[in-house]
């Protein structure tokens, strides 16, 4: 569980964009001089997890919570939504244009998982800077 503050965003089509901006600002503030590649990795993870939360974990009027705990060695990202249903990576097909988000997170992150919360869940990912 992250000790970073949880930032809440109204769940809509713009949520991932706002969460990416927040993640970038949080990492840059915590780790001055961080590489663009590392920032891009955090933003991609945030984007994929927030998009899943928006599409599958919320209803109109719900909020998505995002926490970014960045340190000199790496970062932990958490995305909270009110649904109890746990996400699962989908089987990938050649023509599939959706369903790749958790596969992307699994490739970039060193570890990822899901924690149940009293009112939903948190999907988290940890990565070390390279």
Residue 130: the pLDDT is: 78
Helix H or strand E segment including 9: strand 7-10
Residue 43: the pLDDT is: 96
Residue 127, pLDDT above cutoff 60: yes
Give Cα 41 distance to the centre of its chain.
Answer: 11
**Mean pLDDT computed over every residue of the chain:** 90
84-126 tens-digit pLDDT: 888 776 666 555 556 567 888 999 999 999 999 988 999 999 9
Query: Distances from the Cα of 116 to the Cαs of 12, 51, 83, 86, 125, in angstroms?
Result: 23, 19, 10, 9, 15
14-40 tens-digit pLDDT: 999 999 999 999 999 999 999 999 999
Q: Do the beta carbons of residue 21 and residue 43 sit within 8 Å?
A: no
Q: What pTM was estimated for this model as a whole?
A: 0.90
37-71 tens-digit pLDDT: 999 999 999 999 999 999 999 998 999 999 999 99
Residue 58 backbone dihedrals phi, psi, to 5 degrees: -135, 165
């Amino acid at each position: 569980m992250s000790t970073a503050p949880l930032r809440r965003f109204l769940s809509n089509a713009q949520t991932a964009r706002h969460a990416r901006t927040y993640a970038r600002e949080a990492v840059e503030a915590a780790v001055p001089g961080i590489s663009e590649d590392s920032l891009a990795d955090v933003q991609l993870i945030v984007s994929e997890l927030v998009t899943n939360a928006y599409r599958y974990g919320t209803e109109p009027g719900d909020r998505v919570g995002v926490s970014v705990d960045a340190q000199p060695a790496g970062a932990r990202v958490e995305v909270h939504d009110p649904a109890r249903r746990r996400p699962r990576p989908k089987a990938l097909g050649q023509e599939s244009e959706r369903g790749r988000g958790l596969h992307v997170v699994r490739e970039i992150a060193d570890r990822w998982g899901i924690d149940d919360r009293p009112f939903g869940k948190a999907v988290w990912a940890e990565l070390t800077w390279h």
